[in-house]
Amino acid sequence: MAPRTRNNPLALAVLVQLWERPMHPYEISMTLRERRKEESVRLNFGSLYSVVESLEKHGLIEAASTERDGNRPTRTVYRVTDAGVTEAIDWLTDLVRDPVKEFPQFEAALSFLPVLAPDDALRLLRIRTEALRMNLTANDATREAARAQGLPELFELEGAYEAAMQRAELAFVEDLTSRIVNGTLAGVDLWRQLHDTLVHDGRVDPDEMAKAVAELEAAMGGPPAS
């Protein structure tokens, strides 16, 4: 079996589905959607068929049979191989055990937040707050409905994790908004000064920026050592 790079959770989802029983790709897709796994794993038919081809190429799944429904094209039913079971267990073990650095888009946005004017950032953070509250309410309602139908908590842990992350982000955004408003966020005065004096028509004057950076470095005791 050729070595694989574990960078596509959809491949793990396919292995797990075929660990349950042999299926054709369309059935895999429908099962994942019925279980709302597309909220945890990016899913579309094109990528699914590419993943199936790759898994078969690497010996992790194999064709078990073919079936035909009326005049529809013949479908290939796949099953997981012993190597595929080992791969799924090893992969899942790594994911559960080892924290990894991920790159959320909001984290990237925060790293560049000073490009926005403070009042614009406040407006957008307040919009995000309301969106997070609505998402959290919907998540809680979905999980409550699942519990009412008798679905054990074990099978909706991803929803509980998502809700925990949403609550943490909501708390962070609310706190950040409050500290920008009351001026307790370190650097907020410099941020406002930047946009009051250096930003004109959405652009920064390079000479003024260079001067401001030099003054800031001098105030801090000089530029950092290289």
- Cα 16 from chain centre: 20
- Structure confidence at residue 45 (pLDDT): 82
Residue 200: pLDDT band with limits 50, 70, 90: low
pTM score: 0.79
pLDDT of residue 73: 79
Nearest-angstrom CA–CA distance, 164 and 172: 12
pLDDT digits (tens, 9 = 90+) for 38-68: 889 999 888 999 999 999 999 999 999 998 7
b (16+ CB within 10 A) / e for 173-184: bbebbeebeeee
Residue 106, pLDDT > 70, answer yes
Confidence of residue 160 (pLDDT cuts 50, 70, 90): very high
Cα separation, 14 vs 25, in Å, equals: 9
Winning range, highest mean pLDDT, from 68-72, 114-118, 163-167 = 163-167
Position 1 scores a pLDDT of 43
* CATH fold for domain 9-97: Arc Repressor Mutant, subunit A (1.10.10)
Angle at 42 between CA 125 and CA 112, to 5 degrees: 30
Q: Are 103 and 89 in contact (CB under 8 A)?
A: no
The DSSP bridge partners found for residue 9 are: none
Whether 201 shows a pLDDT value over 70: the answer reads: no
In this prediction, residue 92 carries a pLDDT of 96
